[in-house]
Structure 1
Amino acid sequence: MTPPRAPAVVQDRVLPRPPSVLATGLKLPEVRWALAALVLFLLGWGLQLSGAPAPLWWSLYLACYATGGWEPALAGLRALREKTLDVDLLMIVAAIAAASIGQVFDGALLIVIFATSGALEVVVTQRTADSVDSLLNLAPEQATLLHGDGTTTTVASRELEPGERILVRPGERIGGDGTVVDGTSEVDQQAITGESVPVVRGVGDEVLSGTVNGTGTLTVQVTRPASASVIARIATLVEEASETKARTQLFIEKVEQTYSFGVVVATLLVLAVPMLFFGHAFEDALLRAIVFMIVASPCAVVLSTMPPLLASIANAGRHGVLVKSATVMEGIGRTTVVAFDKTGTLTEGAPEVTDIGPMTGHGADTVLALAAAVEHYSEHPLGRAIVRAAAERGLPLQEVTGFRALPGLGVVGRVDGSTVTVERGAADSSTTGTLVQVRRDGSLIGTITLTDRLRPDAPAAVRAAAGLTGAPAVLLTGDNPAAAATVAERTGIGTVHASLLPPDKVALVTGLEARGERVLLVGDGINDAPALAAASTGAAMGRRGSDLALDTADVIIVRDELGSVANLVRLSRRARRYVIANLAVAATVITVLVTWDLVATLPLALAVAGHEGSTVLVALNGARLLRRSAWEA
């Protein structure tokens, strides 16, 4: 009689997914105010275009001012109290000035732009903070403390002290970093180290908090307190990297202080000089000053920058790549080195049978069929790969009795009267994969080699990325050197760093950044998150990516299409060219209009037309990046 399927080993490596960005955002007051301002603006605009009475749409625009502008105004006043000026305050003043001469639409548009950008920044910051907090939930809340007399008690994992011993049963998460002092099992460490298959852990081997025990029972002596565990260190690294990461500022942010101060001073001079030295009436001088502030306000400058970048973000999103901000989109084009994680990024994180080596007198199908029959009752990734390979060859699964899992070794069962043992080995330099030995009644009848399946698009993606940057791609992985070397050879990667823990990845990324490189790192796991935060641009694989990686990264490759990396860099570089062209147009128009207002009398209608015309022109130019050709070229 065929035995019942063995109980599944718990392998819930992925953290519970937190609420969506929208759900997170709606809990934040900044987002609610920005949404309210946008709705009021759109309602007012619609009524204005439909020919509704002016007081009605004016009221909606003014409500937009209040809902979207009070926070930037407060921030600007606080900055002013600290004797600094910023664009927020200048935007509020410009918006009020626009309304005072009847151009309430212009002011409301500025309010909406700044309120929305500020809200998005708050959402991204909050999401990262929430995800760092949830990372600590990867470690179990409780552990089984083993006393000297053999009795056990359940304690909080955070209270474990170095020197204490814990009992880890099959399927449980390990409660603390430590060393195995008794037992043998296979431990799934992929979430922490990135190793593609569970690794055998026996007496003297180190195990990490939050990793998943296999079918054996382990006694672990704790070596670090919870606050110093690898998981806690990952959370700390993410927070520190996020806080200290050099932010690539947009053009308007770089000149914010100088531009704001210059416009304010110039406006006051335009108001005062005609009255003091040329005898102009206050009303005339005030009108000239208002016109000056309107034409000098950075509407066109803001729209020179934002539409190309926002259009690029929309285009990338249409092709399965989410870029979290305009700042990120601008910075991607400056990438000089692309680095890749291995497991789950260049590979699919799932082993596949790549070779069968039958002994003399035995066929490859026989070896695979016997192994698959026994492994059918195993939840081990290697076992599932063997069963899948047998199914692809159309090999029937024979009946098995007496199935048993051998912790740290493999599985055994009786097939057609013979005892079949499948012993799982380890990767080494000769096999460049994981070697499985198949024995029948104790005699070796063949071997099966399994390797982590390479993504079909990985070689082309690596070549394209290296071609764009002019520098060889870099591989950063926690897997063993043999597996890393195989993937590097098959993809054409030039530099390989293997057996890395999360702090090691951060050190390598920050080392490259310190040498002047701008690193774009592509990864998917919790172990990649600190390095994703430390890199100039972090890109996470969307389908397999852990929540921490997805929230820490600047870019999410939703469909896991590696070819998107090169397309994204090209699109960002094109967007930067559009931004530079737009800024040149905007600066020229502003210079002409300001000069006209200062040396002659610039009619208000012409000032508004010139100002709005340049704004529309740069916006339309940026919108060209929505075309499909902008992504594919």
Structure 2
Amino acid sequence: MNTSNRENNNLIENIKEHKELIAALLSGFITLLAWRMESNGLITAAIIAYLSAFVIGGYAKAKEGFLDTIENKTLNVELLMVLAAIGSSIIGYWTEGAILIFIFALSGALESYAMNKSHREISALMNLQPEEAWLVRGTFEPMKVPVSTLKVGDHLLIKPGERIPADGQILKGTSSIDESAISGESMPVTKQVGEHVYAGTVNLNGTITINMTKPNSETLFQKIINLVQSAQSEKSPSQQFIERFEGTYVKFVLLAVGLMLFLPHYLLGWDWTTTFYRAMVLLVVASPCALVASIMPATLAAISNGARNGILFKGGVHLEQLSALNLLAVDKTGTLTVGTPTVTDIIVREDLNEKDTIATLASIESQANHPLAQAIVNYAKKEKINTIQGIEIEDVPGWGLKAHDQNHSYLVGKPEFVGKLEATNFANNAAEKLAEEGKTVIFMKDERGIAALVAMKDTVRDEAKVAVKLLKELGIEVAMLTGDNEKTARTIASEAGVNKFIAECLPETKVNHIKNYLQTYRNVGMVGDGINDAPALATASVGIAMGGGTDVALETADVVLMKNDLSKIAYAIRLSKKMQKIVKQNILFSIAVICLLIISNFIQVVDLPFGVIGHEGSTILVILNGLRMLKL
């Protein structure tokens, strides 16, 4: 019984989804029957059948047109089609009017199908969310419960092959996770105890137990769905202009039709039937259906394409702006480079014990979150050097750390922070040589002067080198912004293939550099980690956050890369350029068809059925052309 009910429900859903197409086809069938009746002399029956075809085929579009007119207080193309069909029937062209309704209804059904095709990406994403999960409580056997009943702190068992039902942290087990639904990356990622996993991703081979860290409404997966839905509902400037233009254009068409109802009769000697008929044809062929459909399907398809590849656009406006970029400014750490530097050299003042000095430095840095600080802490752990308790620190953003214990005070950071002259002279100017090798150098200073020097190096990502090359091929200059000194910055820039760079750049000064670039290049993109670089991201024409699978990045920037892969930016720009090309093709094609049909109507070489085919056919073609954006 349950299976039968489910099949019936599916049948009802399918009928609802395709009701426009069913109504259009039924209208066409009735029109064919009415034409046969008219051919056999059954005039009254034929007219009744034609009226039925009008109502069945035109009801949905007529209702849409009237409601839209009342809501927005402006005319639209649906009303033009209804008026043309009514006008044709008034002068006795029942067949032409019915064909108009049939093709208009059919094109409307195909348009709805085409528009829904891009929205299906969201439905596909939503279907990836599990509805049930294995809940673990104490020593009891795991229970299968609805995901909607779960709460933060619950322990969940995920078996091999199952989708992860919630965001959480692994408590037990190791497994490979397919995160393609989040990042667009097909290669699995190995996750161990302590690492985070995300709802909607797939546990491939091991059994793991996770601690649920977020409610269902706040999971990264749900935020991605909400973001893409929001982007699809946000209209680009081009689409907004077309929709504003539509109302004015429809008024102009009605005015032109009104004039054509009379002027050709008096000026060109047309009879009243021909004059009225040609006015109705004008009403059809001059309608801007294809023009209105030139942008939105292509934009929605491009947004869906990006979401499928781990690129989230926060709206069509940002997608449009990407194609106009002339320069892309990129943060260095975590963007061009791996973001996890390692210690390569340590030089300690001769009167100090090296192990004790490293212990002090690591103790200070252990209280900071900067990648350089973590590199020093990891080095100390590797060398089995224990840290010291009781050292208090004060963070000086962009410069370094102040620290003190009961007996000593320290400064840790850049040469300018600890004293540039002292830093330069330390260890026979060793810092200069290390900087020329592309290493970042920091110093620790005590009461007697520079106590130690630590050199670290962050490696350039292989994909970053490829990405910079791809961006240059697209005609986009790349500039690197970094807090490193000029020599280190030059080395990293050279390795990455970047020609422009700004060294010793503080977080708060990045905004000023972006403003300067905007004056020179007009359209400038900024790539950062989505947190520290938020002001610069907001200042740029397009802000791009390297998400790395973190939901923090979703709150900043205009475009989010769900994986720290700079080459995705080149893909996004190509996507934007292709979309702009398709939109231009659609607009030029639709305007050309409208002009050709208007001229053909005026010289009486196109009749109403062919006018309808030309008009609605061009609408379908621009929609299908826009859907090419689903693939790049």
TM class by smaller structure: 0.5 to 0.7
Q: Secondary structure, in 3 states, of the residue corresponding to 1:292?
A: helix
Query: Which amino acid in 2 is paired with 1:541?
Result: M
Partner of 2:493 in structure 1?
Answer: 488
Q: Residue 286 of structure 2 is aligned with which of 293, 296, 309?
A: 296
Indicate the SS of the match to 1:457. Answer: helix
The structure whose Rg is larger is: 2
Among 447, 468, 472, which residue is 2:474 paired with? 468
Alignment partners' CA distance in 2, 1:593 and 1:295:
6
1:583 is displaced (CA, Å) by: 4.0
Q: What is residue 342 of structure 2 aligned with on the other side?
A: 353
Question: Which residue identity lines up with residue 356 of structure 1 in the other structure?
Answer: D
Matched, 1:449 2:439: no
Aligned mate of 1:621, from 616, 620, 625? 625
Which residue among 81, 84, 94 is the counterpart of 2:80?
94
Unaligned runs of 5+ in 2: 1-13, 28-51, 87-96, 117-235, 396-400, 417-430
For residue 425 of structure 1, the aligned residue among 406, 410, 413 is 413
Q: Residue by residue, what CA displacement relative to the aligned partner does 1:51-110 show, whole Å, maximum 9, x if unpaired?
A: 599757755444434555544x32x4xxxxxxxxxxxx4546435546755366379679
Residue 608 (structure 1) shift? 1.8
Where do 5+ consecutive residues of structure 1 fail to align? 1-38, 77-88, 117-245
- State the one-letter code of the partner of 1:458: A
Q: Equivalences for 1:58-97 in 2 at 5 Å?
A: 59-66=59-66, 68-71=68-71, 73-74=72-73, 76=74, 89-91=75-77, 93-94=79-80, 96-97=82-83
One-letter amino acid of the counterpart of residue 519, structure 1 = V
Q: Relative to 1, partners in 2 of residues 1:605 and 1:571: Cα closer, same or farther, differing over 3 Å?
A: same
Cα distance between partner residues in 2 of 1:411 and 1:95: 77
RMSD (CA atoms)? 5.1
* 2:515 aligned residue: 507
Once the two structures are superposed, the pairs formed by residues 26-45 of structure 1 within 5 Å of their partners are 44-45=19-20
Between the aligned residues of both structures, percent identity stands at 28
- Cα pair distance change 1:91/1:389, threshold 3 Å: farther
Matched, 1:556 2:560: yes
Tell me how far 1:562 sits from its aligned partner. Answer: 1.0
* Structure 1 residues 364-383: Cα deviation after superposition (integer angstroms, max 9, x where no partner): 99689846974696354344
Maintained 8 Å contact 2:328/2:525: yes
Alignment match of 1:606 (pick from 596, 602, 610): 610
CA distance in 1, matches of 2:388, 2:61: 77
Shift of 1:318: 1.9
Deviation, 1:511, is: 0.9
2:572 is aligned, of 568, 578, 591, to 568
Of 364, 382, 391, the residue aligned with 1:404 is 391
Contact 1:41 1:64 in 2 (8 A): no
Q: What do the CA deviations read for 1:551-591 (whole angstroms, capped 9, x no partner)?
A: 67443323232112222223333333334444444344333
The more displaced of 557-566 and 494-503 is: 494-503
The separation in 2 between residues aligned to 1:98 and 1:526, in whole angstroms, is 56
Kept in 1, the 8 Å contact 2:282–2:601? The answer is yes
Give 3-state SS (helix, strand or coil) of 2:600's partner.
Answer: helix
Encode CA deviations 1:139-176: one digit per residue, 9 max, x unaligned: xxxxxxxxxxxxxxxxxxxxxxxxxxxxxxxxxxxxxx
> Separation in 2 of the partners of 1:539 and 1:356?
34
Tell me: CA distance 1:300–1:493, structure 2 relative to 1, closer, same or farther (3 Å). Answer: same
Q: Say if 1:334 and 1:41 are closer, same or farther in 2 by CA, change over 3 A.
A: farther
Amino acid at match of 2:498: I
In the alignment, the residues of structure 2 paired with residue 530 and residue 459 of structure 1 have an alpha-carbon distance, to the nearest angstrom, of 26
Distance 1:501 1:543 in 2: 25
Matches of 2:535 and 2:403 in 1, distance apart? 37
Letter in 1 for 2:442: L
Residue pairs, 1:110-509, within 5 angstroms: 252=242, 263-277=253-267, 285-343=275-333, 345-347=335-337, 352-358=341-347, 370=359, 374=363, 378-381=367-370, 382-389=372-379, 393=382, 395-396=383-384, 398=386, 402-407=389-394, 424-426=412-414, 430=432, 431=435, 433-437=440-444, 447-450=453-456, 454-469=460-475, 472-476=477-481, 484-485=489-490, 487-497=492-502, 498-499=505-506, 501=509, 503-509=511-517
Contact 1:537 1:553 in 2 (8 A): yes
Partner SS, residue 606 of structure 1: helix
How far apart in 2 are the matches of 1:379 and 1:291? 74
Report Cα offsets for 1:325-353 as digits up to 9, x if no partner. 445434433333222234554356x5522
Q: How far, CA to CA, are the matches of 1:275 and 1:368 in structure 2?
A: 102
Cα distance in structure 2, aligned partners of 1:314 and 1:584: 25
For the 8 Å contact 1:435–1:449, the answer to whether it is kept is: yes
Q: Which amino acid aligns with 2:80?
A: A
The alignment partner of 1:559 has SS state of coil
Residue 285 (structure 1) shift: 4.1
Find the aligned partners of 2:584 and 2:326 in 1 and give their Cα distance.
20
Aligned 8 A contact 2:110 2:620 in 1: no
Is the contact between residue 306 and residue 313 of structure 2 (CA under 8 Å) also seen in structure 1? yes
SS in 2 for 1:602: coil
Q: 1:255 & 1:62 partners in 2: Cα distance?
A: 21
Secondary structure at the counterpart of residue 586 of structure 1: helix
* Local SS of the residue matching 1:591: helix
Distance in 2 between the 1:423 and 1:322 partners? 42
CA distance in 1, matches of 2:616, 2:357: 72
Q: How far has the Cα of 1:480 moved from its partner?
A: 6.4
Q: Distance in 2 between matches of 1:587 and 1:377?
A: 65
Superposed displacement of residue 292, structure 1:
1.5
Q: Which residue of 2 aligns with 1:28?
A: none
CA contact (8 A) 1:91 1:110 kept: no
Verify the 8 A CA contact 1:422 1:436 in the aligned structure 2: no
Aligned to 2:203: none
Cα distance, 1:332–1:290 mapped onto 2, change above 3 Å: farther
Partner of 1:48: 23
How many Å separate the matches in 1 of 2:451 and 2:537? Answer: 46
Counterpart residue type for residue 23 of structure 2: Q
**In 1, Cα distance between equivalents of 2:461 and 2:356:** 27
Distance 2:473 2:292 in 1: 33
Which of 584, 595, 601 is the matching residue for 1:591? 595
Output the CA distance in 1 between the equivalents of 2:590 and 2:276. Answer: 25
In 1, are the aligned partners of 2:346 and 2:453 still within 8 Å (CA)?
yes
Aligned-pair CA distance for 1:508: 1.0
Q: Distance in 2 between matches of 1:615 and 1:354?
A: 62
Pairs aligned (count): 432
CA shift in 2, pair 1:248/1:538, >3 Å:
farther
* Matched letter for residue 404 of structure 1: I
Task: Say yes or no: does 1:542 pair with 2:547.
Answer: yes
**Distance of 1:452 and 1:423 partners within structure 2:** 23
Show CA shifts across 1:444-491 (max 9, x none).
Answer: 99643346665443333223212321x642234577656654543442
- Provide the C-alpha distance between the structure 1 equivalents of 2:331 and 2:560, rounded to a whole number of angstroms: 14
Within 2, Cα distance between the matches of 1:339 and 1:383? Answer: 25
Structure 2 counterpart of 1:462, one-letter code: V
Shift of 1:40: 13
> Deviation of residue 272 (structure 1)?
2.7
Give the structure-1-normalised TM-score.
0.54
CA distance in 2, matches of 1:282, 1:40: 44
